Structure 1
Amino acid sequence: MDSESTRRFVVQIHDARRMHFDFRLEVDGVLKSWAVPRGPSDNPRDKRLAVPTDDHALEYREFEGVIPQDEQGSGTVIVWDQGTYRPTSHDLTGAPVPFAESLEDGHATFWLDGTKLHGEFALTRFRIDDEDGVQGPEAWLLIKANDRQAVHDRPGTPDPYHARSARTGRTLHQVALAEREEPG
């Protein structure tokens, strides 16, 4: 898309080998993706690990269903949240930084207008070196800004087993059950 103001995002709950949330931002014609084990939080005190995964096609924003057991990423997926986002990264002089560049630099800020998530968030890259100083794999932190949209009096992410899809209102269990009941 040409306009950074109309970019889309999606957060999918993925009941795979390990339950996690997939956080995806539309960037340069693909969905940049991170697996977030505990899910994004709207509480600024929660710093959530976000592990980069393969980019996905834009069409995957709407995927909800069951990935067969013999395929990579097998398991049930629902769209927990969806909406648009607006990049908010700036350089030291206050000039806007293109979003892909801010991700490349390892720190990107953005404003989410989703069904469930609202306000400013940041993704910050880090690496954990081992005892011998060998650089470990890349990881990121996903953090909610302390803005008017932030919550402080409760945990920031719902129980994924009881969460409902922003697209269909169904739970993971309901999506899996519907797939099993479809005539094949």
Structure 2
Amino acid sequence: MSLEDYSRKRSFEKTPEPKPAPVPSLPPSNRFYVQRHHARRLHYDFRLEIGGTLKSWAVPKGPTLDPAEKRLAVMVEDHPLEYGDFEGNIPAGNYGAGSVMVWDRGAYELLGDKTVEQQLERGDLKFRLHGQKLRGEFALVRMKNRGKGNEWLLLKKKDVAAQPGWDAEKFSRSTL
């Protein structure tokens, strides 16, 4: 997925969403964002800063700290870095119309000996989150033999941050 896909789906004169800016030549900072997006259906957009963009997955039931729960995560188009702190209402008639709230944000650290690009290509991305709500080890694992290859699972690993029964909807405030 690319920023061209993001731009093609939007009319920037009609929506407050940010336009992609030129990719800065700064070193990557490994930021992550989770946005609660009440569009046609409520879902959470999970975003990792990778290669100067925000790689993005739509998580219908939201992330969890419960390692017993597997969450479907559908890879969607990349978003510009500026989108990470976007909150507001996307007007009706526009792609993704509805309210967007920054539900969590922070940094992530890659786990394992492969680069983030290698892990993405392999379909097995392992990382530790340092967020305001989400903490600890997670994995994004691409589901094999499913559709277009954009269906992944977001998994919480068993660690000190794990909390059985944890529900994202109990924590509905913005982190901005």
TM-score (norm 2): 0.81
For 2:119, give the aligned amino acid: S
Q: How many equivalent residue pairs? A: 150
Question: For the residues of structure 1 that align with 2:135 and 2:166, how far apart are their CA atoms?
Answer: 15
2:142 counterpart residue number? 125
Q: 1:128: how far off?
A: 4.4
TM-score (norm 1): 0.78
Superposition CA RMSD, Å: 1.4
Secondary structure of the structure 2 residue equivalent to 1:11: strand
1:155 counterpart residue number? 166
Question: For the residues of structure 2 that align with 1:158 and 1:66, how far apart are their CA atoms?
Answer: 19
1:21 counterpart residue number? 44
Q: 1:104: how far off?
A: 1.1
Seq. identity, %:
47
Which runs of at least 4 in structure 1 moved beyond 6 Å after TM superposition? none
1:9 counterpart residue number? 32
1:83 counterpart residue number? 106
For 2:122, give the aligned amino acid: D
1:112 counterpart residue number? 129
Answer with 1 or 2: which has the greater Rg: 1
Instruction: Please give the per-residue CA displacement for 1:49-69, whole angstroms capped at 9, x wherever unaligned.
Output: 000100000000000000111
Structure 2 residue runs of 5 or longer lacking an equivalent are 1-25
Instruction: Please give the per-residue CA displacement for 1:114-156, whole angstroms capped at 9, x wherever unaligned.
Output: 0100001000001445xxxxxx23200000010011012x234
Structure 1 residue runs of 5 or longer lacking an equivalent are 91-95, 130-135, 168-184
- Is 1:166 equivalent to 2:172 in the alignment? no
Q: 1:2: how far off?
A: 2.8
Question: For the residues of structure 2 that align with 1:70 and 1:140, how far apart are their CA atoms?
Answer: 29
2:78 counterpart residue number? 55
Selected match of 2:89 from 34, 43, 66: 66
